[in-house]
């Protein structure tokens, strides 16, 4: 962008007729964490896992059977989702059960899926 183009854009921005409200940007740390979370959720297979875990908790064996993926593949995808705190896990005997981490994740997932379903 040239200096002339930038100056012209700044002049037009000052000509806006709506009332400006103050904007407080999130910290760089928060933006980076949010971007990492969205990258983790943005993979179609990991998104499918999130959708499934939004229905009910499950262990790797159940997910493998339901989704038709190998257990090592599922474990790797769950690891990425867990690292970004999208899912939580609990141990019951020799099994580890996975579920969505909280209602924020559930709402995010629901909103994204509804948004793309409504688009034409």
pLDDT in tens, 20-61: 788 899 999 999 999 999 999 999 999 999 999 999 999 999
- The separation between the first and the last C-alpha atoms of the chain, rounded to the nearest angstrom, is 34
Give pLDDT, residue 12.
Answer: 56
pLDDT in tens, 78-107: 999 999 999 999 999 999 999 999 999 999
Is residue 56 classed as helix, strand or coil in its secondary structure? Answer: coil
**Beta carbons of 41 and 86 less than 8 angstroms apart:** yes
Domains of the chain as residue ranges with CATH: 28-118 (1.10.10.10)
DSSP 6-34: HHHHHHHHHT--SPP----PPPHHHHHHH
Instruction: Determine phi and psi for 107, rounding to 5 degrees.
Output: -65, -40
> Which residues face 99 on adjacent strands?
88
Hey, what are 58's tokens?
A: 């499950």
b (16+ CB within 10 A) / e for 25-51: eeeeeeeeeeeebeebbeeeebbebbe
């Amino acid at each position: 962008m040239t200096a002339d183009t930038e100056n012209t854009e700044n002049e037009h921005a000052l000509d806006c007729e709506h009332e400006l409200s103050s904007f407080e940007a999130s910290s760089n740390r928060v933006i980076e964490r949010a971007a990492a979370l969205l990258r983790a959720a943005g993979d179609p297979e990991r998104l499918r896992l999130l959708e499934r875990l939004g229905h009910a908790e499950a262990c790797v064996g159940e997910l493998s059977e339901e989704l038709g993926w190998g257990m090592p593949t599922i474990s790797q995808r769950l690891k990425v989702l867990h690292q970004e705190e999208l899912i939580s896990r609990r141990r019951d005997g020799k099994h580890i059960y996975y579920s969505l981490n909280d209602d924020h994740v559930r709402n995010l997932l629901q909103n994204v899926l509804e948004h793309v379903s409504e688009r034409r």
